[in-house]
Structure 1
């Protein structure tokens, strides 16, 4: 053991006489090159050589040709730039080879052919390899462990790893690569924060949450659609826009529902099905639905905001959309949303598997494997269209509040004005806050991924399951359930329902005057003004 000694160079005679030496460790000795023509000339029994953490730049056949009994060769953390094809030709007993953390940019495709019958463990991690050839590992039928950490494999294929029937452990840069080696018992990393080796959704919180969010989103939007269909609308065109918005948001609930269904389907055996799932029609379809829902929702919210902006800031203008204009705008928004979601599906050669980049089929962040066209397209959608829409919504609501505040300065009833300002402020704040809560994390993740910042997978999972559906879940509350008109109409419906349940016997026993003046009524019931006036004068309401 000669570890951490300042041995920058060795001569050919350094190891003369060590005929029985089996183990040699020279870790961190600043060694720049190995002696030529043969390193093991005087150590024929050497079977373990550890040269980790040196500055070796050259490795070739002439250096190793007499190391025929070598079983373990550790060369990690050196400066090796090139490995000739016949480098390991004489190492017919080699079982472990570690070339990690070097500067190797290219490996000839038959580099490991000469050690194919003996090699059990191979580590070429953290090298700037430009390409892994499909036949690099085809001869390594006895290999049990393969480490490829830190290496991008743009053209990764299942056939790269199938010949290695005995492979039990494999180590990749990203979890998505694991799906290309489904026969390997242990693959690391075993999760991307969203999916794991066993399950589509990595942990119990995600599994429960996807069902809860799906239920809240679907039920809330369907409830609003039903209630707005039953009650009289103050503005029919606005009500139609809200119902269309609920339809778009409901698609997000459908997307979450199917993610939950397929999570149950693949439970315990996800990695065996991961590649087929991400390339399946089902994955692309639900990814399409999620994109369609989010984009139509964003565009509709922007349109509703601008419509409200014109009414409040320019109350005396004639810029009010009619029925035909509203129908045209709504149809155009759905058409545009459909085109945005469908374009990546039209040409796989240009966009690749746009929706199948992860188990939840949503193209949230970019990676180096993504095609440039797909990366540019998703950037244009998330950091272009959606960011502009969010800024328009935020600025419009700020202008609306300022306009209302300015108008209220001249109000004579200060208490009424203060109450109105607080109500308007709260409502506008929560509308903008919900949009910010949804889209700002998505903007940040997209921006960081473009800057090639490593993003933990758990962040992606929380954004897809919790953050992305926030608007879809909250829109029914913000745009319908919290409005004063909607609450009043619901109260009227409840009153009518309660009045219908007053027994006929009780009604017959009461006179027409006591019906209006003495009979206990639901708390929400208020007689029309003209009936109240008649009762004060003693007139008979029926005759009136």
Structure 2
């Protein structure tokens, strides 16, 4: 039995074959012609390939069916074709029969290694191609030269390492291009110049370190994703051709500084994304810049939390007044235990320094209120920030070391009470001199060795504390 078309009917009818020895190939051809003339298909389509199925809107699904070549029995009037999860290696133009109505082709996760020249030349109406999750390593010149109606091209998560200069020639209607999750290290100048209508370009998680001339002629581009690359220096003119850009993602790259000239010509940009919120200082005209803070500071305030602001002022006031009273009282009044009193004076001095540091931070928070991001770059690289960080380090280290000396002294007094005379005032002076020398040296070394510790050891955050929790791989760590 075979399926033939009836002129006055919208369905195929099975009729007996006069010659019973007709081969499988002839039978498949007749079936295919019957489906094309009838214009309907719904259900299993084993006559195309075992496991395939079709739907009423001329869509064929042959995913994960073990295909190694495209079946010749697929009707020419198919509009959507899903052959993902199969075993194609090299795709050539000749592998695709003429399918003039095909608009969507899904070839994801199909072990495709290479794409031949003009690979989709027999699919003139093709608009969407999905090739993600394959093993494509190179995009050669003129691969898509006849695909003038292609709108969306997905090449994500392939080991693509290089793209030829004329790889995208012919894609004059392309609007979205996904190349994320590949191994692309360099982009040839004007590599995307044929894509005059491109609006979305995803290059996230590649190995790009140089973007010189890559975005020439992309005046229609609106969204550019460069997250997770190796960009350490971005020349000021890199994004200037992107006159229509609205969203730019630069998260998880190496660079830690940028110039305002880099983004100044981008008048239409509304969203920009960095890993470090301090980089927003170079894009002040952008409406939305993320991240909006680092947990302590925000785009508007040095101390973002109201509770934190109040706490800093209270602790600073208590630390300064309380420790000043201790110092004055211990200096004016005579103590029976001069050694212990001397240790307490040193502890009070160390804590007083912390109070001074807190007053410096609190006063700058008031000065920068409402527009901190405009001052962030200069503040964190200023002498004032370095001195503030130095004072906080000296205070915390001297306080800990002094408490250690006091603890040892109290332990000796209790365990060896009869050897009290050995603990002379001169010995206490020597101990505290060593404490202060070691503390000052430890706090000053990062400022004396910027080549090793980096120029922002104390300026890694707005409060000038050497807490490198946001960038654990920075210098000196």
TM-score (norm 1): 0.60
Structure with higher RCO (Cα < 8 A, 6+ apart)? 1
1:80 positional shift: 4.1
CA 1:54 to 1:323, structure 2 compared with 1: closer, same or farther past 3 Å?
closer
**Is the aligned partner of 1:109 residue 2:212?**
yes
The answer for the alignment partner of 1:533 in structure 2 is: none
**Is the aligned partner of 1:137 residue 2:238?**
yes
1:126 positional shift: 1.7
Q: What number of residue pairs does the alignment pair up? A: 369
CA 1:339 to 1:165, structure 2 compared with 1: closer, same or farther past 3 Å?
farther
User: Aligned ranges for residues 44-59 of structure 1 at < 5 Å?
Assistant: 44-53=148-157, 56-59=160-163
**Is the aligned partner of 1:89 residue 2:200?**
no
Unpaired runs of 5+ residues, structure 2, are 1-79, 97-119
Q: Which secondary structure state, in structure 1, belongs to the residue aligned with residue 166 of structure 2?
A: helix
Higher helix share: 1
User: Deviations along 1:280-300, whole A, 9 cap, x unmatched?
Assistant: 122112111101111221221
**Is the aligned partner of 1:151 residue 2:230?**
no
Residue number among 328, 339, 343 corresponding to 2:445 in the alignment: 343
Residue number among 326, 333, 338 corresponding to 1:224 in the alignment: 326
CA 1:41 to 1:321, structure 2 compared with 1: closer, same or farther past 3 Å?
same
User: Aligned ranges for residues 284-295 of structure 1 at < 5 Å?
Assistant: 284-295=386-397
Residue number among 355, 364, 367 corresponding to 2:467 in the alignment: 364
1:132 positional shift: 3.5
**Is the aligned partner of 1:279 residue 2:381?**
yes
1:18 positional shift: 4.5
Contact persistence 2:129–2:153 (CA under 8 A): yes
**CA–CA separation in structure 2 for the residues paired with 1:225 and 1:368:** 39
**CA–CA separation in structure 1 for the residues paired with 2:342 and 2:375:** 42
The answer for the alignment partner of 1:12 in structure 2 is: 93
1:303 positional shift: 1.8
Moved more, 213-222 or 355-364: 213-222
1:147 positional shift: 0.8
Unpaired runs of 5+ residues, structure 1, are 376-544
CA 1:160 to 1:319, structure 2 compared with 1: closer, same or farther past 3 Å?
farther
The answer for the alignment partner of 1:208 in structure 2 is: 310
Contact persistence 2:139–2:160 (CA under 8 A): no
The answer for the alignment partner of 2:340 in structure 1 is: 238
Contact persistence 2:121–2:146 (CA under 8 A): yes
User: Deviations along 1:209-259, whole A, 9 cap, x unmatched?
Assistant: 222322332333233334434554231232122022111101112212222
The answer for the alignment partner of 2:173 in structure 1 is: 69
**CA–CA separation in structure 1 for the residues paired with 2:144 and 2:254:** 35
TM-score (norm 2): 0.68
Contact persistence 2:195–2:218 (CA under 8 A): no
**Is the aligned partner of 1:190 residue 2:292?**
yes
The answer for the alignment partner of 2:46 in structure 1 is: none
**CA–CA separation in structure 2 for the residues paired with 1:348 and 1:2:** 60
CA 1:88 to 1:260, structure 2 compared with 1: closer, same or farther past 3 Å?
same
Q: CA RMSD in A?
A: 3.0
CA 1:35 to 1:134, structure 2 compared with 1: closer, same or farther past 3 Å?
closer
Q: Which secondary structure state, in structure 2, belongs to the residue aligned with residue 119 of structure 1?
A: coil
